[in-house]
Amino acid sequence: MANGRRFDGKQKQLSFGAYPAVSLRDARARRDEAKVLLAAGFDPAERRRQDRVESDALSKHTFRVLGTEYLAKLEAEGRADSTVSSTKWLLEDFAYPALGDRPIAQIKPTEALELLKKVEGRGTFETARRLRGICSRVFRYAVSTQKAEIDPTHPLRGALIAPKTRHHSAIVEPTAIGALLRAIYDYQGNVLTAAGLKLAAFTFVRPGELRLMEWREIDQEGAVWSIPAERMKKRRPHKVPLARQALAVLDEIRPLTGKGRFVFPSLRSDDRGMSENTLNAALRRMGFDKGAMTSHGFRAMAATRLNEMGHWSVDAIERQLAHQDAKAIRRAYTHAAEYWDERLRMMQVWADYLDALRTAPAKHA
């Protein structure tokens, strides 16, 4: 149906659609809307064209598109690989399936809450909390780039269950350490997962540093793993002396992943590091529940046993753990050569100690 009206002294035809797709009632309602626009000095045809342009643009600005742009922004800013990887995981595994194809400007708080409550319903309170934060950052990015007007997750800040702060469980008693290591060496699952657990024990780095380990960071001849600052929690580069046992583990898996970027690539893609849950899931399958041991627990294990040995300075141990405060860092660098030599010896003795516990646990109980 068309209706002729004059705008700016010119006769124009305005089509409302074909009958019966557009009823007479709808056509009359649209005609009346056009009269109101004309009376206010607006061209109804031009307004409809602008509405179509805005609608087309709106359909292109989906949550997935803005999420991808936000990830690219993080990478361009040089954010830590662990930050980018974690953000990508939360978006791809949780947010995109529910919200990815929705125009970001049309997403309501109720939709976001439904997604978050679904994740929370699995008992993964920390994941739900982190997911809300990541979604909020994507929405705020959309607002700043004029693709949305509000962050619909902002009113939900008090809606989720606050996760309890938990200390990382760790096995520290020598006989139990030996049993754990035997379980790891007997593990019948993925060979890369077993290798990751072995290196976690020998190097006691943070899980995020281990799972994103790159082949280019390893000096095989010098027996040193150099972790760049952007991957470290304290944003300081960190060197890890590699004992003979650690080098042997790397030699074992080099034929499998040595031509790629990551020492431990994701099972889904060689372009991503191992999932943050892989090592913990393997420990669960071996029979070590989360109250007994976690992948982060290898750090507490090493810190406890090395301090109780009484052979090593506190500064050397803390420097190897890479969690000193600024004062301790300055003190450690004042005696850098001394601590480095001590750390070289300590890491080899530590690996030998673990081997001894694994092969003859009763003797070292």
In a domain, 327, yes or no: yes
Nearest alpha carbon to residue 88 among 78, 76, 96, 98: 96
Residue 166 resides in a domain: no
Query: Mind telling me the catalytic residues?
Result: 206, 233, 296, 299, 323, 333
Confidence band for 47, pLDDT divided at 50, 70 and 90: low
The CATH number of the domain holding residue 260 is 1.10.443.10
Helical axes 191-203 vs 174-185, angle rounded to 10°: 150
Residue 133 lies in a domain: yes
pLDDT at residue number 53: 47
| Predicted pLDDT at 86 | 79
* Residues 100 and 19 occupy one common structural domain: no
Q: For residue 161, is it within any domain?
A: no
Does the model's pTM come out above 0.85? no
Same domain, 278 and 216: yes
**pLDDT band at residue 130, thresholds of 50, 70 and 90?**
confident
- Structural domain includes residue 20: yes
What tokens does 332 get?
């450690």
Q: Taking all residues of the chain, what is their mean pLDDT, rounded to a whole number? A: 81
Per-residue model confidence (pLDDT) at position 122: 79
Note whether residue 165 is domain-resident. Answer: no
CATH number for 103: 1.10.150.130
Residue 306 · residue 317 · CB < 8 Å: yes
Residue 83 has pLDDT above 60, yes or no: yes
Last residue of a domain, one of 37, 59, 81: 59
Worst-scoring range by mean pLDDT, 50-59, 139-148, 230-239, 294-303? 50-59
Do strands 10-15 and 2-7 pair parallel, antiparallel, or not at all (unpaired)? antiparallel
With respect to residue 214, please indicate whether it lies within any of the assigned structural domains. yes
Identify whether residues 131 and 73 lie together within a single domain: yes
Domain span holding position 112 = 63-156
Question: Cα(54)–Cα(123) distance, rounded to whole angstroms?
Answer: 41
Same domain, 78 and 18: no
